[in-house]
Structure 1
Amino acid sequence: MRTLLLTLLLTGCVAVHAQERRWALEECIAYAYEHNIEIKTQELTAEEKRIALSEARWGYAPDISISNSYSLSTGRVLDPTTYEFVENKTVGGNSTSMGAGATLFGGLKNRYRLRRAQLDLRASLLGVESTRRDVRLHVSAAYLEVLCAEETIRDAGQVVAELTAQEEKTARKVEARKVTVADLLQIQSQLADAENDLLTARRAYDIARLDLCQLLELDDWASFRAAPPDGEELRGGGVADDPAALLDAAGALPEVEAARVGIDLARRDLQIARAAYWPT
């Protein structure tokens, strides 16, 4: 009877899970790209760099200033038409001025600042790409942890079901005096250990789902279900074992390119500092 109830329970769980939504790996990665806080932070930083680049381009534009003033006097005032003081009169005046100026030479600061702003934007975009790559790796690892935890639960549940059936058979044999009570106690001890392993597997499964949903910025982690990857996802497109190919792949990483851009940024900062020696 106990085996039948356990079988029905497992079958019901499978039926319920079959009706629930299951997240594929690429779906999780796409969701993380849209909602992950670290990626959003890097994208906002890149937007700030775009604004800084626009400001650097406007550095070539001339400075234009316009001012306007209006004055009003009443009582004993100076008449601007006759330059004589008059009594009990109101006199108003308006003055407008406009000026423009452009730097003919400033040590090429604007050029260096523009180039630096372009490199700064490039570094920020590489930071976005690097963060996306890290999020993809972390989501993939957490996703595999969820799948492994599910498999562990299935294995532990199968062991519990087998030991439960064996316990019932041994109990009947004890009643028939074919085996001793010690044999039944040994099986019950194994069953208790298996049930404890099942509880541990379920707890590890909950932790794995929670970790993955934190990466996805998904609140409802309790209802999260992962779909097993198909053959194409498992096969993937790895890098060949050729050392030259490995070096090329390492050189194409956004972290490496960002380091190169960082060196160029330092050189531009040095050029901007040296430009201060030149007269304006």
Structure 2
Amino acid sequence: MAWLQQCRIANIVVQVGSDSAACQQDMGKFLCLYEVVSGEIPQLKFEVLLSDDVYRFVAVDADGEQELLWQSDDEREISAALEIHFYRKTIEYLDKDMASIHAALLHVNGKACMFAGVSGAGKSSICTAGLLAGADYFSDEFALLAKDGWVYPFPRPMQWEFTEHPAFERQTIIDSGLISADYFDFPDAQGVETRCHLWHPKNIQRKPLPLTHVVLHQYRADLTAPELLEIPRHEALMALPEHLHIQRGMALDLPMLNKRLNKDCKFYRLTFPNVIAAWELIEAEIRSR
């Protein structure tokens, strides 16, 4: 293997290796935010293997079981497959200990705050607003909730569909010095050259924290000002199961979440037309509680 890197994700060590120089470069962009370790026994391995001019992307678990995730004669396709399957397989492996919630997770004033919303609800915008205001980054996609109610970092690079951010000017983000920009190119299913934009927060939260605040949010262009309401625990619990990456049905997911969420966790519903004003409202609430 020409290149190897070990990193820690939650309570496991993941090792990524590649025989491809191009894949190595792209993998470095995907992995640069994770805590780097060395000399440890990995629980999960991802490898790009070159044989007979074909690149094979495989996952290998702790028992040595190998799964073919993707293969192609174009190494750039492997980079795109990594973006999908690296997260999927890692979440599957962590599932016995960690519930993965489709949510952003930030460290604010010593507290862990989770933002859960459906696609288009403004999760990336809230996460970016928090980072630009000095919050530390856990994840913008995978909130890992352990059995004891603590949340763990899964700091994948932030991504949104277009070159420009939906709420902030690109140059404003770069000039902040708090988030840097990168990208990789790959052919899509029709062979059209496509660019995936990656954004790397500077301030990464490395240690787990107890989850103290959960915000269910929704962007609303028809409002004139953000509204933040504290809601009962049961209302939040009814909404959260739909945001789990691995779902087993309400009968199992709801009691599981109820058991894991701390008794003193606070729950809110946020609607907002302007993400900067919304973040100021959220931050003031977090600092006061």
Higher CA-based Rg: 1
Considering Cα pairs closer than 8 Å and 6+ residues apart, tell me whether 1 or 2 has the greater RCO: 1
Q: TM-score, normalised by structure 1?
A: 0.19
TM value normalised by structure 2: 0.19
Bigger proportion of residues as helix: 1
Structure with more of its chain in strand, by fraction: 2
